[in-house]
Structure 1
């Protein structure tokens, strides 16, 4: 695992956030599996017609070298002592973990770190070469301590908030998360904002407060059609609004005003690029670990990223922060074992059924074992009356009324009906 050694400079450092910055257990996780073939087909077509579809508003730039004497000033101190040698070597433990994820019950919760909950199904794309889910990106950033006095990471859930997909930044109705994001961004050297570009590609926006730059790190930088400038602009404007609100609320005081609209924007093209259609999330994680504000601390290839995606899965499962960590991952986790050992998760496990009208209830005979057939029964609609909670029926019709009704039915005491002209039928004899 990449390890950090931070050197604190002075005592007047920005206060680290005490609240969880990543997706909570109650947050909606984007678990949609994207079709890799669609992305691959689009990528192939775009490469064939590259000249006719490139946007012209902002041209890509190569990595801008730091000025002489300013490299130490502008680089990200939190990434200087990271060690990446072990990221590209699969150990027997890593292979064992990958096999565990492939064969285990997909609904089983296997990672619980910092209010981030991941199931086997969430981690299967890591070992099967799929599209990484946002919760995986957030959780791995958490265990690597990217939230420190130098950098802060906005979760993918928070980036959706800033983009307005779940409410957005409302000037008249400020919410607690607005001031929290504003305070964190205004007191760090660098802000990482992973976001879903064009709903099919993970990209990374970086706010470099030392260089006063908006930096775009895109693993498909050579194909500008996979750049979402609209979302980039919305994110910048929303973060600006959050910082202004934090200043108004006296949560942070600035030596000089911050205006992100005046900053230069650069998309870097000489950074490692993906060669497939589903590794963008892996590259985003690696960018956050290796980017020092000027350049990557290391160079990495597609083959190395194919190994790194499995290392991510292994490290999440075996992390000391994981409340669902298992003593061994040699044997797969079956549904029966999981439900027997985690009765509180049985209601989630029953979600495998596609029938939304089924209500699962317990008979109360055995509250500790959820795998037996007698414990769980399925009932539709209103609960059946068993006689214990029912009252005797009240007699609503008196004997006199019943006799009158019988006479009317027999025709001895009923009023003759006179049909109107519209009810007469030419086929009926009158």
Structure 2
């Protein structure tokens, strides 16, 4: 849910945390059906925590076993291969957001970075690919009737996007890529200038989105707008 303290960095030109990014992505999921937008924490969670993937072909499964099996299956079925394009929000070194798209038709991991060279994020994306491969192998061998593709040799490729000229806008550039990158090209133009110009609108979109259940916040915004127009 979109709280005021989460949105303040958008307006103050600060660095966006994962919570506010997830608020925006929740609304995009309702609108964009050609892509699977994974939770904002998914990439870092599986890379840093490395989920258990034991062999489950045994007689006595406990609740933890079943939950881990289910989580692995859901990541493969609903996120990685729910469509031909899975979008990941990647937080490098807890200071920089990068968009990564796993494109099944092209068999590649697309890196959309508004600040750094590929060399600075490639190691993380390689680890992400490795963890996705572990999920795929586990699902293929243990719990799925279908066979998911082997991603181990998929190329990690950087695609050019507009660049930021400050140190704090990476989260907003990520949101723009999530919304406007279709797997081949950008479907809308944006720049540091338009990113800054639209900060108020971005905050308003989060507050007024269908996925935001804080109805009082929506009413407060509408009241402010009405007073401004009076």
* TM-score normalised over the length of structure 1: 0.45
Matched, 1:213 2:95: no
2:62 match:
none
Q: Secondary structure at the match of 1:295?
A: coil
Q: Which of 170, 185, 193 is the equivalent residue of 2:88? A: 193
2:75 maps to 181
SS of 1:156's equivalent in the other structure is coil
- Unpaired runs of 5+ residues, structure 2, are 56-64, 225-230
Paired with 1:179 and 1:280, the residues of 2 have a C-alpha distance of 31
User: What residue number does 1:258 align with?
Assistant: 149
Who is 1:172 aligned against?
54
Decide which structure has greater helix share: 2
List gaps (5 residues or longer) in structure 1.
Answer: 1-116, 332-430
Q: Distance in 1 between matches of 2:191 and 2:211?
A: 29
Q: Distance in 2 between matches of 1:322 and 1:268?
A: 32
How far apart, CA to CA, are the structure 1 residues paired with 2:30 and 2:162?
21
Measure the CA separation in 2 of the matches of 1:136 and 1:253: 35
RMSD, matched Cα: 2.2
Q: What is residue 194 of structure 2 aligned with on the other side?
A: 304
Q: Aligned pair 1:323/2:207, yes or no?
A: no
**Residue-pair matches, total:** 208
Determine the structure 2 residue equivalent to 1:131. Answer: 15
CA distance in 1, matches of 2:136, 2:40: 19
Dislocated runs of 4+, deviation >6 Å? none
Task: Map residues 60-75 of structure 1 onto 2, 5 A cutoff.
Answer: none
- Does the CA-based 8 Å contact 1:190-1:206 persist in structure 2? yes
* 1:313-337 deviation digits (Å, cap 9, x = unpaired): 1112122443212323346xxxxxx
Q: Does 1:273 align with 2:163?
A: yes
One of 17, 27, 32 as aligned partner of 1:143: 27
Question: CA–CA distance in 2 between the matches of 1:224 and 1:144?
Answer: 26
Q: SS state of the match for residue 129, structure 1?
A: coil
SS at 1:288 equivalent: helix
Larger RCO (CA within 8 A; separation ≥ 6): 2
Q: Alpha carbons of 1:252 and 1:316: their partners in 2 closer, same or farther (altered >3 Å)? A: farther
Give the distance between the partners of 1:219 and 1:242, measured in 2 at CA: 29
Q: For residue 362 of structure 1, what is the aligned residue in structure 2? A: none
Whichever of the two has the greater Rg, that structure is: 1
Q: How far does residue 207 in structure 1 lie from its aligned partner after superposition?
A: 0.6
Secondary structure in structure 1 of the residue aligned to 2:125: helix
Take 2:141 and 2:215, find their aligned partners in 1: how far apart are those partners? 44
Give the match's secondary structure for 1:214: strand
TM-score by length of 2: 0.81
* Offset of residue 132 of structure 1: 0.9
